[in-house]
Structure 1
Amino acid sequence: MAKSKLLTAAVMSSALVLVACGGNTDDTDQGSTTTTEPAVEEVDTLELETDDESIELVVEDVEPVAVIEDAAEDVYNELLDLTLVYFDFDKSVIRPEFIDMLNAHSEFLVANPTQMVVLEGHADERGTREYNLALGERRAKQVATYLMVQGVSAAQIDTVSYGEEKPLAIGKTEAEYSQNRRVEIVYK
């Protein structure tokens, strides 16, 4: 009896995988046309038979590819809305949490080769004016280099450093300082 239930569960899960991944397995005429939406076979029920019993699966009509594409587009648009890259104290290394955002911006810029962007480098008020201008420039150039490695044309990118001159937060705590150590992505 337990063996039969295991077999039934295995058959059901295999059937679900086949139904979920199902598509056209016909190898003829592949690649001759491209469509933007994949063909989805409509399956209302699927009947499986085992040694002891018959199992009927009901499958709902779902277009998972469209749902995934919509969700991916929403995430992409949310990432494009983010335009600040923050840095650690006295560093110009891009932190890992900003990679997805920068990838979204690079994809946008590659897809729109006439779009220009200005990368504005900033620093907190600690350090001399000259040092902070140089640090802001290093940060902006680091982001520019990352975008270019992702395929963005150098002609689309301008960099500028404001050093400590345009703080987002006024104050002398680490929380305020951390908001001022940034690169702003500004589309022109």
Structure 2
Amino acid sequence: MKKLVLPALIALTLAACSSTGTDTAGASVEDRGAGVATVTAPGMSGSGIAALTDPNNILSKRSVFFDFDSYVIKPEGRPLIEAHARFLVQNPEMRMLVQGNTDERGSREYNLALGQKRADVVKQALMLLGAREAQIESVSLGEEKPRCDDRTETCYAENRRGDMLYSGEF
């Protein structure tokens, strides 16, 4: 019975976080690509760490994207969060920093608060899937770390994200 309750609770919680709108087109999960530092963990080596930097592995993708003025995890971000949660559960010595980001629209205070909500919702989802709270820290960067500086909707969408970084990357 216990084995059925946990997956049902996780599915219910993720469903509660989902958007109720009919718009199914949204920003996709993106590969962080170049500029990511080498990940290190004491006492760990081999394929576990290699998966974090293998471009063919979902673990190399580190950003969950959000809609405008929202901190709801979209369905296309769920597989990424699930994969990182499994990795954290299998590697309890690993630590993660979740950085919440926003586009430049809105006041500085509003963007810092929204960025924190985005980071916190990613952290909460990871914990619901088994990661320990001690493994994850969430911070808001607000609009201070844009990925794109153009003033277009496409660029704004790139900046509305939660980035997951592992020890050695922050």
With the shorter chain as reference, the TM-score category is 0.5 to 0.7
Tell me how far apart the structure 1 counterparts of residues 57 and 79 of structure 2 sit (CA, whole Å): 11
> 1:119, CA displacement in angstroms?
0.0
2:101 is aligned to 122
Tell me how far apart the structure 2 counterparts of residues 109 and 181 of structure 1 sit (CA, whole Å): 24
SS of equivalent residue, structure 1 residue 83: strand
Tell me how far apart the structure 2 counterparts of residues 159 and 110 of structure 1 sit (CA, whole Å): 18
2:45 is aligned to none
Alignment of 1:7-46 (within 5 A): none
Compute the TM-score of the two structures, normalised by the length of structure 1: 0.59
The one-letter amino acid paired with 1:165 is: E
Deviation string 1:49-92 (CA, Å, 9 cap, x unpaired) is xxxxxxxxxxxxxxxxxxxxxxxx9x9x6210110100000000
> 1:171, CA displacement in angstroms?
1.1
2:122 is aligned to 143
Compute the TM-score of the two structures, normalised by the length of structure 2: 0.65
Structure 1's unaligned 5+ residue stretches are 1-72
Structure 2's unaligned 5+ residue stretches are 1-50
Kindly, what percent of the aligned residue pairs are identical? 47
Tell me how far apart the structure 1 counterparts of residues 109 and 150 of structure 2 sit (CA, whole Å): 21
2:28 is aligned to none
The one-letter amino acid paired with 1:130 is: E
1:38 is aligned to none
The one-letter amino acid paired with 1:185 is: M
Residue 173 (str. 1) matches residue 157 (str. 2): no
Tell me how far apart the structure 2 counterparts of residues 158 and 97 of structure 1 sit (CA, whole Å): 23
Tell me how far apart the structure 2 counterparts of residues 127 and 105 of structure 1 sit (CA, whole Å): 30
SS of equivalent residue, structure 2 residue 164: strand
Aligned residue among 115, 135, 145 for 1:156: 135
> 1:161, CA displacement in angstroms?
0.5
Rg larger for: 1
Q: How many residues are aligned here? A: 115
RMSD over equivalenced CA pairs, Å: 1.7
Tell me how far apart the structure 2 counterparts of residues 159 and 145 of structure 1 sit (CA, whole Å): 10
Residue 87 (str. 1) matches residue 66 (str. 2): yes
